[in-house]
Structure 1
Amino acid sequence: MKMILQLVCMMLFALTANAQTLNGSAEERSSLEKATLALRNAFATGNSKLVARLHHPDIVKYFGGDNVLIGRAAVEKGAKEWFENSKVEFIENTVESTVFNKGTAIQTVIFSIKTTPKSGGSPVISRGRSLVVYMRDKNSPTGWLSLREIAQAAPDQK
């Protein structure tokens, strides 16, 4: 009996550890989803100007080690260089957690990006986990801007 109880507790913990946590109103959740979709679509169409406009002017993006982008101009430059050489496509975007608080949202996502060289060659798929802080902004095309982002390798797929 004790073993069954332990197994049930472990299963419940596993379910809650992998379940998405979120709060916020239906409008907040819907509008943030539209904003993140607009960003993924800007990457898919190679629109570096829109990618930049969806980020706060003071954006800081941490990609590990010394790989840090600071400011909207750096985001646009990096995206433009990437798009000139490759077709970029998000092929996975699994939201793990979203928390809203007074005009901000913090979201963690498991993502996969397929990068296909325009000069030929095999596509590369990069998989990671990001934590992004968004803020409401009336000047944003979507109503939200990315303010801070940290990306790291994603856990192994099960």
Structure 2
Amino acid sequence: MRKSVERQQGAVLIVTLVMLLLMTLIALASMRGTTLQERMAGNARDQSQAFQASEMAQRQAEAFALTRSVTDWQNTAQTANWTNADALTDLPNQSRFRINPTPGVNPLRSGDGLQVIPLDVSVLRIETQGAGAATTAGAGSASTANVTINTIFVRR
């Protein structure tokens, strides 16, 4: 009986160390999965903020387009410059918009055949850009979420 006890000395230690190693590997794998989920959630949040900022710039561009008359937009042959949207000031990257008039587009009145009749309408192409909020929690965690929205706006 004494010989079997001597052979088993240290077996519990080895089994315990193997189990501890397995538990450590499981913990590391779950931590890696949690980190990945946090990154995905952060990216989704940044993408959502960028889209909302771009939509906000879209609304501001439409409001700006309504301040000018239809004939002003029809007679414009200039290149459009970017304008900063000023409704959201808490984002580090300013959302912006650009309005491109399309003076060559002549709407047709329904029922008049192919003859072009000038309407009191101007067609504008509005392009907006928005960016997600950059977080400063970790090194190199700047946001790269950018959203561009292109729309056609009809000013009547």
The TM-score normalised by the length of structure 1 is 0.29
User: Rg bigger for which structure?
Assistant: 2
- More RCO (CA 8 Å, sep 6+): 2
From the two aligned structures, give the one with the greater strand fraction: 1
